[in-house]
Protein backbone atom coordinates (compact mmCIF):
# COMPACT_ATOMS: atom_id res chain seq x y z
CA UNK A 1 0.00 0.00 0.00
CA UNK A 2 1.18 3.59 -0.64
CA UNK A 3 2.92 5.21 2.31
CA UNK A 4 1.68 8.73 1.44
CA UNK A 5 -1.78 10.09 0.71
CA UNK A 6 -2.60 11.99 -2.47
CA UNK A 7 -2.39 15.45 -0.89
CA UNK A 8 1.08 14.76 0.49
CA UNK A 9 2.32 13.49 -2.87
CA UNK A 10 0.96 16.46 -4.81
CA UNK A 11 2.43 18.87 -2.27
CA UNK A 12 5.87 17.25 -2.61
CA UNK A 13 5.78 17.42 -6.42
CA UNK A 14 4.83 21.10 -6.35
CA UNK A 15 7.39 21.88 -3.64
CA UNK A 16 10.33 20.19 -5.37
CA UNK A 17 9.34 21.37 -8.87
CA UNK A 18 11.38 18.47 -10.31
CA UNK A 19 10.45 14.78 -10.48
CA UNK A 20 13.45 12.60 -11.40
CA UNK A 21 12.67 9.73 -13.77
CA UNK A 22 14.90 6.68 -13.57
CA UNK A 23 15.20 2.95 -14.21
CA UNK A 24 18.00 0.42 -14.04
CA UNK A 25 18.14 -3.37 -14.02
CA UNK A 26 20.91 -3.53 -11.37
CA UNK A 27 19.30 -2.98 -7.98
CA UNK A 28 22.60 -1.88 -6.44
CA UNK A 29 22.67 0.95 -8.96
CA UNK A 30 19.03 1.75 -8.18
CA UNK A 31 19.85 2.11 -4.49
CA UNK A 32 22.83 4.35 -5.20
CA UNK A 33 20.85 6.65 -7.51
CA UNK A 34 17.88 6.81 -5.13
CA UNK A 35 20.27 7.81 -2.36
CA UNK A 36 21.76 10.51 -4.60
CA UNK A 37 18.28 11.86 -5.35
CA UNK A 38 17.46 12.18 -1.67
CA UNK A 39 20.88 13.59 -0.73
CA UNK A 40 20.67 16.06 -3.61
CA UNK A 41 17.52 17.58 -2.21
CA UNK A 42 14.60 15.94 -4.01
CA UNK A 43 11.84 13.93 -2.35
CA UNK A 44 10.19 12.07 -5.24
CA UNK A 45 11.29 9.42 -7.71
CA UNK A 46 9.44 8.03 -10.72
CA UNK A 47 10.83 4.53 -11.24
CA UNK A 48 9.77 3.49 -14.71
CA UNK A 49 8.21 0.10 -15.40
CA UNK A 50 10.47 -0.99 -18.23
CA UNK A 51 11.91 -4.33 -19.20
CA UNK A 52 12.00 -7.76 -17.60
CA UNK A 53 11.87 -7.74 -13.83
CA UNK A 54 10.82 -4.10 -13.55
CA UNK A 55 7.85 -4.84 -11.31
CA UNK A 56 9.96 -6.98 -8.99
CA UNK A 57 12.65 -4.28 -8.90
CA UNK A 58 10.00 -1.72 -8.03
CA UNK A 59 8.84 -3.83 -5.10
CA UNK A 60 12.44 -4.17 -3.91
CA UNK A 61 12.89 -0.40 -4.16
CA UNK A 62 9.76 0.25 -2.11
CA UNK A 63 10.81 -2.13 0.65
CA UNK A 64 14.37 -0.82 0.75
CA UNK A 65 13.47 2.87 0.60
CA UNK A 66 10.94 2.61 3.41
CA UNK A 67 13.70 1.58 5.80
CA UNK A 68 16.70 3.38 4.28
CA UNK A 69 15.16 6.50 2.68
CA UNK A 70 11.86 7.04 4.49
CA UNK A 71 11.56 10.60 3.17
CA UNK A 72 11.58 9.49 -0.48
CA UNK A 73 8.20 9.27 -2.22
CA UNK A 74 8.38 6.58 -4.90
CA UNK A 75 6.00 6.40 -7.84
CA UNK A 76 5.74 4.08 -10.83
CA UNK A 77 6.19 5.25 -14.41
CA UNK A 78 5.42 3.85 -17.88
CA UNK A 79 2.19 2.28 -16.64
CA UNK A 80 -0.24 1.62 -19.48
CA UNK A 81 -2.80 -0.89 -18.19
CA UNK A 82 -5.04 -1.07 -15.10
CA UNK A 83 -3.83 -4.49 -13.93
CA UNK A 84 -0.23 -3.28 -13.73
CA UNK A 85 -1.35 -0.04 -12.08
CA UNK A 86 -3.25 -1.95 -9.41
CA UNK A 87 -0.35 -4.30 -8.76
CA UNK A 88 2.18 -1.46 -8.44
CA UNK A 89 -0.14 0.40 -6.07
CA UNK A 90 -0.41 -2.78 -3.99
CA UNK A 91 3.39 -2.86 -3.86
CA UNK A 92 3.42 0.74 -2.61
CA UNK A 93 3.43 3.15 -5.57
CA UNK A 94 2.54 6.59 -4.22
CA UNK A 95 1.78 7.92 -7.71
CA UNK A 96 1.37 6.47 -11.18
CA UNK A 97 2.72 8.06 -14.36
CA UNK A 98 1.96 6.99 -17.91
CA UNK A 99 3.12 7.91 -21.43
CA UNK A 100 -0.50 8.10 -22.60
CA UNK A 101 -3.98 8.56 -21.18
CA UNK A 102 -6.07 5.51 -20.17
CA UNK A 103 -9.57 5.80 -18.71
CA UNK A 104 -9.16 2.36 -17.12
CA UNK A 105 -5.91 3.28 -15.38
CA UNK A 106 -7.48 6.55 -14.20
CA UNK A 107 -10.37 4.59 -12.68
CA UNK A 108 -7.97 2.21 -10.91
CA UNK A 109 -5.93 5.07 -9.43
CA UNK A 110 -8.98 7.10 -8.45
CA UNK A 111 -10.46 4.11 -6.63
CA UNK A 112 -7.28 3.92 -4.54
CA UNK A 113 -6.89 7.72 -4.12
CA UNK A 114 -3.49 7.61 -5.83
CA UNK A 115 -2.37 10.45 -8.15
CA UNK A 116 -2.45 9.50 -11.81
CA UNK A 117 -0.27 11.55 -14.17
CA UNK A 118 -1.10 10.54 -17.77
CA UNK A 119 0.84 11.65 -20.81
CA UNK A 120 -1.10 14.08 -23.00
CA UNK A 121 -0.16 15.86 -26.21
CA UNK A 122 -3.31 17.78 -27.17
CA UNK A 123 -5.83 20.01 -25.44
CA UNK A 124 -8.51 17.38 -26.07
CA UNK A 125 -6.47 14.74 -24.26
CA UNK A 126 -5.76 17.15 -21.38
CA UNK A 127 -9.44 18.03 -20.91
CA UNK A 128 -10.41 14.36 -21.18
CA UNK A 129 -7.90 13.55 -18.45
CA UNK A 130 -9.42 16.18 -16.17
CA UNK A 131 -12.88 14.78 -16.78
CA UNK A 132 -11.48 11.42 -15.64
CA UNK A 133 -10.42 12.97 -12.35
CA UNK A 134 -6.67 13.53 -12.70
CA UNK A 135 -4.93 16.20 -10.65
CA UNK A 136 -2.05 16.90 -13.02
CA UNK A 137 -1.21 15.75 -16.54
CA UNK A 138 2.14 14.95 -18.09
CA UNK A 139 3.01 16.82 -21.27
CA UNK A 140 4.84 14.24 -23.32
CA UNK A 141 7.02 14.43 -25.26
CA UNK A 142 7.20 18.03 -24.09
CA UNK A 143 9.82 19.36 -26.49
CA UNK A 144 8.11 17.81 -29.52
CA UNK A 145 4.59 19.10 -28.87
CA UNK A 146 5.46 22.76 -28.75
CA UNK A 147 7.49 23.37 -25.61
CA UNK A 148 6.54 26.03 -23.04
CA UNK A 149 4.56 28.01 -25.62
CA UNK A 150 2.17 25.07 -25.98
CA UNK A 151 1.42 25.01 -22.27
CA UNK A 152 1.03 28.79 -22.18
CA UNK A 153 -1.45 28.61 -25.05
CA UNK A 154 -3.40 25.81 -23.34
CA UNK A 155 -3.62 27.73 -20.07
CA UNK A 156 -4.92 30.87 -21.78
CA UNK A 157 -8.47 29.44 -22.20
CA UNK A 158 -8.01 26.79 -19.48
CA UNK A 159 -6.03 28.39 -16.63
CA UNK A 160 -6.85 25.53 -14.26
CA UNK A 161 -4.65 23.11 -16.22
CA UNK A 162 -1.70 21.80 -14.20
CA UNK A 163 0.84 20.02 -16.37
CA UNK A 164 4.24 18.44 -15.77
CA UNK A 165 6.35 18.53 -18.95
CA UNK A 166 8.64 15.56 -19.48
CA UNK A 167 10.99 15.01 -22.39
CA UNK A 168 13.60 17.55 -23.42
CA UNK A 169 13.57 19.61 -20.22
CA UNK A 170 17.04 20.67 -19.09
CA UNK A 171 18.16 21.18 -15.45
CA UNK A 172 19.07 24.81 -16.15
CA UNK A 173 17.56 28.08 -15.02
CA UNK A 174 16.80 29.02 -18.63
CA UNK A 175 14.92 25.81 -19.44
CA UNK A 176 13.13 25.52 -16.11
CA UNK A 177 12.08 29.16 -15.91
CA UNK A 178 10.48 28.95 -19.35
CA UNK A 179 8.29 26.07 -18.19
CA UNK A 180 7.50 27.57 -14.79
CA UNK A 181 6.55 30.88 -16.40
CA UNK A 182 4.23 28.95 -18.73
CA UNK A 183 2.45 27.55 -15.67
CA UNK A 184 4.08 24.16 -15.00
CA UNK A 185 4.16 23.40 -11.26
CA UNK A 186 6.90 20.82 -11.86
CA UNK A 187 8.86 19.07 -14.58
CA UNK A 188 9.95 15.47 -15.09
CA UNK A 189 13.57 14.75 -16.01
CA UNK A 190 15.41 11.56 -16.78
CA UNK A 191 18.85 11.31 -18.38
CA UNK A 192 19.33 15.06 -18.49
CA UNK A 193 19.24 15.08 -14.70
CA UNK A 194 20.84 11.66 -14.16
CA UNK A 195 23.23 11.19 -17.10
CA UNK A 196 23.97 7.67 -18.26
CA UNK A 197 27.70 8.31 -18.44
CA UNK A 198 27.81 9.14 -14.73
CA UNK A 199 25.90 5.93 -13.98
CA UNK A 200 28.25 3.88 -16.17
CA UNK A 201 31.29 5.34 -14.39
CA UNK A 202 29.63 4.92 -10.97
CA UNK A 203 30.21 8.59 -10.25
CA UNK A 204 27.68 8.81 -7.43
CA UNK A 205 29.15 12.07 -6.11
CA UNK A 206 28.77 13.53 -9.59
CA UNK A 207 25.13 12.44 -9.78
CA UNK A 208 24.37 13.88 -6.37
CA UNK A 209 26.07 17.15 -7.33
CA UNK A 210 24.12 17.35 -10.59
CA UNK A 211 20.83 16.80 -8.77
CA UNK A 212 21.76 19.43 -6.18
CA UNK A 213 22.58 21.85 -9.01
CA UNK A 214 19.18 21.12 -10.53
CA UNK A 215 17.49 21.90 -7.21
CA UNK A 216 19.31 25.24 -7.04
CA UNK A 217 18.40 26.00 -10.66
CA UNK A 218 14.74 25.16 -9.98
CA UNK A 219 14.65 27.51 -6.99
CA UNK A 220 16.15 30.32 -9.06
CA UNK A 221 13.77 29.62 -11.93
CA UNK A 222 10.80 29.66 -9.56
CA UNK A 223 11.80 33.12 -8.34
CA UNK A 224 11.83 34.32 -11.96
CA UNK A 225 8.43 32.84 -12.82
Domain count, the chain: 1
Is residue 23 domain-resident?
yes
Contact 90, 115 (CB under 8 A): no
Is residue 128 domain-resident?
no
Is residue 142 domain-resident?
no
Question: What's the rounded Cα separation, in Å, for the pair 214 and 93?
Answer: 24
Is residue 105 domain-resident?
yes
Is residue 82 domain-resident?
yes
Is residue 164 domain-resident?
no
Is residue 14 domain-resident?
yes
CATH of the domain at 37: 3.20.20.70
Specify the pTM. Answer: 0.96
pLDDT tens for the 225 residues of the chain, in order: 899 999 999 999 999 999 999 999 999 999 999 999 999 999 999 999 998 889 999 999 999 999 999 999 999 999 999 999 999 999 999 999 999 999 999 999 999 999 999 999 999 999 999 999 999 999 999 999 999 999 999 999 999 999 999 999 999 999 999 999 999 999 999 999 999 999 999 999 999 999 999 999 999 999 998
CA quadruple 21, 27, 28, 31: dihedral positive or negative? positive
Would you please indicate which residues are annotated as catalytic (active-site) residues? Answer: 46, 138
Question: What's the rounded Cα separation, in Å, for the pair 173 and 220?
Answer: 7
Give me the domain span that covers residue 68: 6-116+170-224
Question: What's the rounded Cα separation, in Å, for the pair 184 and 93?
Answer: 23
Is residue 157 domain-resident?
no
How big is the CA angle at 195 (ends 192 and 198), to the nearest 5 degrees? 160
Amino acid sequence: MPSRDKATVMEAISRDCIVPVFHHTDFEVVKKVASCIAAGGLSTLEFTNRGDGAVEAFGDLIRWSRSELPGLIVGAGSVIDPATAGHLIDLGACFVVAPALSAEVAQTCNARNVPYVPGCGTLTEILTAYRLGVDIVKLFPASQIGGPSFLKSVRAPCPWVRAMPTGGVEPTVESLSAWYKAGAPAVGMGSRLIPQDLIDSEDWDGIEARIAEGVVAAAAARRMA
